[in-house]
Amino acid sequence: MTTDANSKKVLAGKVALITGGASGIGRASALLFAEAGAAVVVVDLKQQAGQWIVEEIVRNGGKAMFERADVTRADECERAVQRTVSEFGGIHVLFNNAGIIRRASVVELSEEDWDRVMAVNVKSIFLMSRLVVPVMAKSGGGTIINMASGWGLAGGPRAAVYCASKGAVVLLTKAMALDHGAQNIRVNCICPGDTDTGMLRQEAVQLGEREDRFLSESARRPLGRIGRPEEIAQAALYLASQAASFVTGTALVVDGGGLAGSP
């Protein structure tokens, strides 16, 4: 992958921790951040995939580490942060990217699924951020990027808990930006539209729809296609870099125009 970031090294000297970094948007972001000069810590439950990404980064001359952790557990989040600081000396970028989806209405949804989606999509941001904010503040600041969704700004069918969780991420992001701006910590979130990841294909399975038909429906937006993980990663890189030095508390929509007609 050749990018402007590769030549400019806009994250040179920075340490970036990415949750859910072993696949999809997290994987694309880990590779892009490493190209931009950051030391990258991939946090995920998928050990083999996470190790593969680390090996690729190191093979290309970068610095990276994998930490297997369930980001809904406070003790495992603490271990991941402590290991990162011990290995690389600090954390300058936290990308709270881990997320799951359950496609169901409130009457179809189990209590267990509600709790799990809220834990992965929202609680993990709280757990990681409360550990990382003091680390960033001690070193003079940093940037936190939270993964929201277009469905955190507008509702979607049979996605009650997912919409609830992503709406919470949007407002949590704004509240954190207010709380931590004085510490020179910028907090933003990304609201992607449908993106070509394994999670998108899982939605078709959950809804009992044919994958090709589901993906075709997902592409119905002004640009006429679904997004690529690398395109969302570019948005994350922008928010992580000094190019966004005056940007905080925002929800950056990257969706091919999917919400353009929404009020």
CA 102, CA 129: separation in Å to the nearest integer?
Answer: 24
In the chain, the domains with their CATH numbers are: 12-194+229-254 (3.40.50.720)
Q: Is the pLDDT of residue 1 over 50?
A: no
Residues in the chain: 263
CA 99, CA 232: separation in Å to the nearest integer?
Answer: 14
| pLDDT tens-digit map of 2-47 | 444 445 799 999 999 999 999 999 999 999 999 999 999 999 999 9
CA 191, CA 255: separation in Å to the nearest integer?
Answer: 7
pLDDT of residue 262: 84
| pLDDT tens-digit map of 203-221 | 989 999 999 999 999 999 9
| pLDDT tens-digit map of 167-213 | 999 999 999 999 999 999 999 999 999 999 999 999 989 999 999 99
Catalytic member of 66, 162, 214, 238: 162
- 162 is a catalytic site residue: yes
pLDDT of residue 8: 77
**Confidence band for 53, pLDDT divided at 50, 70 and 90:** very high
Dihedral through CA 108, CA 113, CA 114, CA 115, nearest 10?
Answer: 160
| pLDDT tens-digit map of 65-124 | 999 999 999 999 999 999 999 999 999 999 999 999 999 999 999 999 999 999 999 999
pTM for this model (two decimals): 0.95
- Whether 36 contacts 2, CB under 8 Å: no
Closest CA relative to residue 95, chosen from 10, 186, 231: 186
CA 251, CA 150: separation in Å to the nearest integer?
Answer: 9
pLDDT of residue 169: 98
